[in-house]
Amino acid sequence: GLDITSLRAKTGMITLDPGYGNTGSCTSDITFIDGEKGILRHRGYAIEELAEKSTFMETAFLVLYGHLPNASELVKFEQEIGDESYLHYGMKSHFEGFPDNAPPMAVLSAMLNTLACYNTDLLTTATEGEAFTLPAAKIISKVRAIAAWAYRTSIGKPFMAPRPDLSYSGNFLHLMFSQQFNLYEPLPEVEKALDLFFILHADHEQNCSTSTVRMVGSSHASLFSAVSAGVGALWGPLHGGANCEVIKMLTHIHEDGIKPRDFVEKAKDKNSPEKLMGFGHRVYKSFDPRAKILKGQVDNVLKAMNVSDPLLDIAYELEEMARSEDYFIERNLYPNVDFYSGILLRAIGIPVNMFTVLFAIGRMPGWIANWREMHEQSLRISRPRQIYTGEPLRSYVPMQQR
């Protein structure tokens, strides 16, 4: 009901809000967060209910198109995604150009932009019809293949053909782990846990990467380049990259025999570079609801796989300590989605350097939905202002006088 054009400031005062803690950049119908109460809803549906009853494909449709799909809409959507699950064979040579140790997030970002080269007829800002549904389906489907190809190239294994009989998440596990003569058959609990991981990452309003997607899209660059930029923003350890950092931190504590108490003390010390990774959030000032759901799942998956993980005990211990420490209580620092997700992904067999790539796969519907909404609202190009604090006007000094 809000007329966005009436909010356009034409001229006048500049507000300075570093980090945009109090700046709204848009209105949105997609995701609702109440950070004080720990509430997250997509299109009005509570994340807890989606986590329990939905699938990633259904949630992706919901986030993108605003309503839960009926049976035929879901079949059509899954068909669109299925039809796009192959990569153009020409992309093989691009993968071969990367060194084996290339960070998978760099490969993912580059290859999403490369999709634009193979789809030059789809570089539009359309929000309806095939001109939107096709690039959206291509990206949601091919991001999975790109991730798996990047991993398999890095370990010197051939690519697998996708299997149409598998779910979105089952197919991803197959593309990652199947051998030519030994197909990977995931346990139902594992496939479900990965699907849940993707659901929990589907959208999260105007975070750093989603704002980046909107920022890039606002110049009317293509959807491919906007999501490629989103991957770049997600990569950082303060954002999606935190899921790798949490496991590195827990491994460091475990393998180097650090006492969790000593680590917590270091994380409180402003002179130390250590932080309690996976803790804190710009918006949540109570428990991140996604972390709560994941914490509940980790045990199930470990049990189903018949494995135990000493890192989980360390994570519980750190969380318990943080709960009773004034430093964390005063600053409202609770576990965020990244705190338990790494333990889940590790149990499934995903290598640590792929964790943030999986976050990107899950976040794709949210990025695309935000890009679409922005173009539906015909927003202006994003262009923040600044307060100049540099030198006043001075005269050019010839080289011999400097």
Work out the widest C-alpha separation in the chain, in whole angstroms: 77
- Measured from the CB atom, the residue of 68 and 321 that comes closer to ligand ACO is 321
- Strand-pair category, 39-42 with 31-34: antiparallel
- Which residues neighbour 309 within 8 Å (Cβ) at sequence distance 6 or greater? 302, 343, 346, 347
Shortest Cβ 140–ligand ACO spacing (Å): 19
Q: Which element (helix H / strand E) includes 51?
A: helix 47-53
CB of 186 or CB of 280, closer to ligand ACO? 280
Beta bridge partners of 34: 39
> CB 399: neighbour CB atoms within 10 A?
5
Long-range contacts of 158-166 (CB under 8 A, 24+ apart): 159/92, 161/86, 162/82, 162/85, 162/86, 164/82, 164/85
Nearer to ligand ACO, 309 or 338 (CB): 338
| Residue 338: active-site member | yes
Residue 139: what are its φ and ψ, rounded to 5°?
Answer: -70, -45
Query: Which is nearer to ligand ACO, 171 or 243 (by Cβ)?
Result: 243
Please report how close the Cβ of residue 279 comes to ligand ACO at its closest, in angstroms: 4
CB-nearer residue toward ligand ACO: 160 or 333: 333
Q: How far is the CB of 50 from ligand ACO (least distance, A)?
A: 17
Residue type, 142: K
Determine the Cα–Cα distance for residues 208 and 233; give it in Å rounded to an integer: 6
Give me the least distance between CB of 263 and ligand ACO, in Å please.
Answer: 11
The catalytic position among 94, 174, 338, 375 is 338
- Contact in structure between 359 and 240 (CB atoms under 8 Å): yes
CB closest to ligand ACO, residue no: 280
Helices 208-217 and 355-376 cross at an angle (nearest 10°) of 50
Residue from 42, 201, 204, 281 carrying the catalytic annotation: 281
Q: Which is nearer to ligand ACO, 280 or 289 (CB)?
A: 280
| DSSP symbol at 378 | T
Radius of gyration in angstroms for the set of CA atoms belonging to the chain, rounded to a whole number: 22
From the list 108, 77, 83, the residue with the least C-alpha distance to 95 is: 108
Q: In the bound complex, what is the minimum distance in angstroms from residue 341's beta carbon to ligand ACO?
A: 9
C-alpha–C-alpha distance, residues 185 and 221, integer Å? 40
Residue among 154 and 211 whose Cβ is closer to ligand ACO: 211
SS3 (DSSP) at 288: coil
Residue 244 makes CB contacts below 8 A (sequence gap 6+) with: 237, 342, 352, 353, 355, 356
**Binding interface with ligand ACO (CB under 6 A):** 19, 238-240, 242, 267, 275-282, 331, 333, 336-338
In angstroms, give the least distance from the CB of 236 to ligand ACO.
9
Phi, psi of 31 (to 5 degrees): -130, 135
Catalytic residues: 281, 338
